[in-house]
Amino acid sequence: DAKTTQPPSMDCAEGRAANLPCNHSTISGNEYVYWYRQIHSQGPQYIIHGLKNNETNEMASLIITEDRKSSTLILPHATLRDTAVYYCIVRVAHAGNMLTFGGGTRLMVKP
């Protein structure tokens, strides 16, 4: 699986949009971009994933550049409960494929 690069930490004001970047310049054509987050002392929570089109769900939006070498996770109205470590992972979508976690971005939402 391709490696990803994320900033180690970011701050965001409560109620504002949080934009979390991820670089994955070596991504292969059949690899999806996945985002998970981990709130302190809990298991990771799936957020969203996409291949090349932008995706949106009730939690977030995922913007993937046209060359697929980078992406941005957008939390439109961050709340204090969104404080967590956010992991960007690229992976071939297959039941037998594990997730390889990098360092992630520690997002701190401040009042």
> 50, 32 in Cβ contact below 8 A?
yes
Determine the length of the chain.
Answer: 111
| Cβ-Cβ contacts under 8 Å for 71 (sequence gap 6 or more) | 21, 22, 24, 33, 50, 62, 63, 64, 65, 88
Q: Can you give the binding site for other proteins, defined by CB under 8 A?
A: 36, 38, 41-46, 49, 87, 93-96, 98-104
In whole angstroms, the minimum distance from the beta carbon of 73 to other proteins comes to 17
Nearer to other proteins, 66 or 98 (CB): 98
Is the CB of 15 or the CB of 103 nearer to other proteins?
103
Q: 2, 28 in Cβ contact below 8 A?
A: yes
Shortest CB 88 distance to other proteins, Å: 12
Could you tell me the smallest distance in angstroms from the CB atom of residue 45 to other proteins? 7
Q: Please, which residue, 14 or 55, has the CB nearer to other proteins?
A: 55
